[in-house]
């Protein structure tokens, strides 16, 4: 404000002087009209006038010069002030920026320290001589040292193998090829803990040069767990390979024909029995439709059943075996029993088909029917005289024994069909999963391999139990040899062959064992045959009933042991109840039963020193009781199976 005021004062003075000069000049011009008149003016007046004019000019110029000088000075001072203010502001801004960057640096430093301290891997810094300069907590835990015990020591006290492997050359190599980090691409060494125990470690090294000093950062990881897992995986792979060979051998040597096909019916694999049964080489059937082995109308029925199941989910055929006609490569037709089950593998549905040739069984059945008719004719012809009757009875007994053996073969054939059904699912799963293992190994999915091996193991255990139960019928027992047997164990073995079939038929099975494990003196094989016959009859009796219940109970009663098999089936009429133990007597349709099951059971229970009692009500159910003498030995148990 002061500078502006002074500037304004100088301007006013200049204006006044200019105005005075103009007045003087005007007066002169007013009084002087020409040169002549000018000459009339005295010289001293003219000189005075000129001097005044010059003085006014000089004063005006001086005033102008002063004003300009003050103006420049003020402008200089103003600009100087601006520069000073700018310098101060710039310094302040720089200080603020420096402070902010310093704080960010400290924050980053704290973050890095926190990361290092909380890292799972052990981290240490060493110099070019291998002296440990710093470590994190994980490093101390890994090698079981305290910080003051290890800082300042040579790295060789915990990693002697690093020095033995020419650590200097290893570190120099890193620097020479300018690799500043080998994390994840290090090498395996042996670490030494403070208690002198050793363990495998993975070490990675990075180099950092500062001025003329190079520091190396070591990142170490304990490989103990990884090595243990690798050992387990290696053992699992070896075991899976052995199991794979075993399962392949089981399937390839199985008596039944085994095939696997997809939802389009395209065959994925078959075993040797399939090739022998139908006459096709593996490359002739794999990739073709499974209905190639079926003539019409079974081919169309098969396609209809599969398509219906895939659309509706209703298992009209899946899990339920049926008799169909098979077609050999040469066009020959023959009877067979086919059981199909489904399973999923990696989200894709597959089917396993187990097929058994029924040609021999059908021959036995036909011979059995003919033998029965012949026996009836012979019985009528030989009933006229006592001597002839005795002779005929003797001959008939011999013939009946032959028929009983034939019946056992027929029963075994029928049961084998059921066994095929029971073995269908585990064998199919084993076959497919064993083919999956090489693919999983190739793709590095080792955890999945272990899971698949466990699945194969469980399925093989299940198949083994089923095959073990079949030995009851495969063992010869011509002469009844009585031995101490666990009755409950016999029941468990026999049920292995029926459990899944009962589930598929929606039969509710309940097993109640007494509080003791009952020991009886009997033939293990024959008691198993008797129980199997009673269960088969109970199954047939409840199959068409709305209430499908079968129960098995064991209990002690008056120093005896009782095995009770009860069903809610169609029952036995009063007029037939007294004939059920007669040979060849049956209430089943022709071709559905031999009439020898209960007769054979009655004979065997007598041979084993036991009794058989039946109670039955038409359309309500039947109960069979097998009574044995107790051997006075029990083991505490209390089981209920339903």
Strand arrangement, sheet containing 187-192: 132-135, 122-126, 213-222, 198-210, 187-192
User: Considering only CA atoms, which of 296, 354, 350 is closest in space to residue 325?
Assistant: 296
- The two domains 234-456 and 480-641 share their CATH topology (first three levels equal): no
- Measured in Å, how far apart are the chain's first and last C-alpha atoms? 111
**Would the pLDDT of 430 be above 60?**
yes
- Assigned token pair, 563: 């095995």
pLDDT at res. 174? 45
Q: Say which residue, 387 or 269, is predicted with more confidence.
A: 269
Residue 195's pLDDT is what? 87
Separation of alpha carbons 171 and 192, rounded Å: 20
Q: Which CATH number fits domain 480-641: 3.40.470.10, 3.40.50.10420, 1.10.3720.10, 3.30.565.10?
A: 3.30.565.10
pLDDT-based confidence at 262, cuts 50/70/90?
A: very high
Q: What architecture is domain 234-456?
A: 2-Layer Sandwich (3.30)
Residue among 398, 401, 373 nearest 381 (CA): 373
CATH T-level fold of 119-222? Beta-Lactamase (3.30.450)
**Residue 136: closest CA among 221, 195, 65:** 221
- Residue 296: pLDDT band with limits 50, 70, 90: confident
Distance separating alpha carbons of residues 99 and 94, to the nearest angstrom: 8
- Per residue, the 3-state secondary structure of 533-582, as one string, reads HHHHHHHHHHCCCCCCEEEEEEEEECCEEEEEEEECCCCCCHHHHCCCCC
> How many of the other CB atoms lie within 10 Å of CB of 326?
22
Domain ranges of the chain: 2-114, 119-222, 234-456, 480-641
List, for residues 373-382, the tens digit of each pLDDT value.
Answer: 665 665 565 5
Average pLDDT, the chain: 75
- How does pLDDT run across 339-388, given as a tens digit for each residue? 888 888 888 889 988 898 888 888 877 877 776 666 566 556 555 544 54
Most confident by average pLDDT, 191-195, 310-314, 431-435: 191-195
Provide mean pLDDT across the span 246-254: 76
* Average of per-residue pLDDT across 110-128: 75
């Amino acid at each position: 404000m002061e500078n502006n005021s002074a500037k304004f004062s100088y301007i006013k003075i200049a204006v006044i002087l200019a105005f005075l000069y103009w007045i003087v000049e005007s007066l002169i011009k007013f009084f002087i009209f020409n040169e002549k008149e000018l000459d009339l003016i005295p010289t001293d007046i003219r000189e005075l006038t000129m001097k005044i004019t010059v003085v006014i000019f000089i004063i005006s110029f001086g005033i102008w010069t002063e004003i300009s000088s003050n103006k420049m000075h003020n402008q200089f001072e103003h600009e100087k002030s601006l520069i000073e203010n700018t310098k101060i502001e710039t310094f302040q801004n720089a200080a603020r920026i420096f402070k902010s960057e310093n704080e960010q640096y400290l924050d980053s430093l704290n973050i890095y320290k926190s990361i290092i301290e909380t890292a799972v891997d052990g981290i240490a810094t060493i110099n070019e001589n291998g002296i440990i300069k710093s470590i994190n907590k994980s490093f101390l835990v890994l090698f079981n040292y305290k910080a003051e015990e290890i800082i300042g020591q040579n790295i060789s006290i915990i990693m002697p193998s690093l020095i033995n492997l020419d650590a200097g050359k290893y570190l120099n190599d890193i620097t020479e090829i300018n690799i500043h980090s080998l994390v994840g691409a290090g090498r395996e060494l042996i670490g030494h803990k403070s208690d002198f125990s050793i363990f495998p470690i993975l070490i990675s090294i990075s180099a950092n040069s500062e001025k003329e000093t190079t520091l190396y950062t070591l990142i170490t990881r304990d490989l103990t767990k990884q090595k243990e897992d690798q050992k387990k995986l290696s053992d699992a792979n070896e075991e899976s390979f052995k199991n794979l060979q075993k399962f392949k051998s089981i399937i390839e040597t199985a008596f039944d024909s085994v095939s696997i096909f997809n939802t389009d019916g395209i065959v994925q694999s078959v075993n040797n029995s399939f090739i022998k049964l139908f006459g096709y080489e593996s490359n002739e059937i794999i990739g073709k439709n499974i209905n190639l082995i079926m003539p019409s109308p079974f081919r169309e029925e098969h396609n209809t059943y599969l398509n219906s199941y895939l659309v509706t989910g209703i298992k009209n055929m899946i899990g339920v075996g049926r008799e169909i006609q098979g077609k050999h490569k040469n066009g020959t037709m023959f009877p067979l029993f086919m059981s199909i089950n489904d399973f999923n593998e990696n989200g894709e549905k597959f089917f396993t088909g187990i097929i058994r040739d029924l040609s021999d069984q059908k021959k036995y059945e036909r011979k059995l029917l003919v033998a029965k008719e012949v026996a009836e004719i012979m019985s009528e012809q030989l009933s006229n005289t006592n001597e002839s009757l005795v002779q005929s009875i003797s001959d008939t007994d011999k013939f009946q024994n032959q028929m009983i053996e034939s019946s056992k073969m027929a029963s075994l054939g029928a049961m084998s069909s059921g066994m095929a059904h029971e073995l269908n699912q585990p064998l199919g799963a084993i076959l497919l999963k064993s083919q999956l293992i090489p693919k999983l190994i190739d793709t590095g999915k080792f955890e999945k391999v272990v899971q698949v091996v466990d699945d194969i193991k469980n399925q093989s255990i299940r198949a083994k139990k089923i095959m073990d139960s079949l030995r009851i019928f495969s063992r010869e027992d011509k002469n009844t040899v009585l031995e101490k047997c666990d009755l409950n164990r016999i029941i468990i073995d026999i049920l292995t062959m029926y459990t899944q079939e009962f589930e598929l038929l929606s039969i509710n099975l309940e097993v109640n064992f007494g509080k003791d494990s009952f020991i009886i003196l009997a033939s293990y094989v024959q008691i198993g045959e008797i129980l199997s016959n009673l269960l088969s009859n109970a199954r047939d009796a409840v199959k068409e009933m709305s209430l499908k219940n079968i129960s098995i109970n064991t209990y002690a009663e008056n120093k005896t042991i009782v095995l009770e098999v009860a069903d809610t089936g169609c029952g036995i009429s009063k007029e037939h109840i007294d004939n059920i133990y007669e040979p060849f007597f049956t209430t089943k349709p022709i071709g559905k039963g031999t009439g020898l099951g209960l007769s054979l059971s009655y004979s065997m229970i007598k041979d084993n020193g036991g009794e058989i009692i039946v109670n039955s009500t038409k359309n309500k159910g039947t109960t069979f009781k097998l009574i044995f003498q107790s051997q006075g030995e029990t083991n505490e148990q209390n089981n209920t199976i339903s």
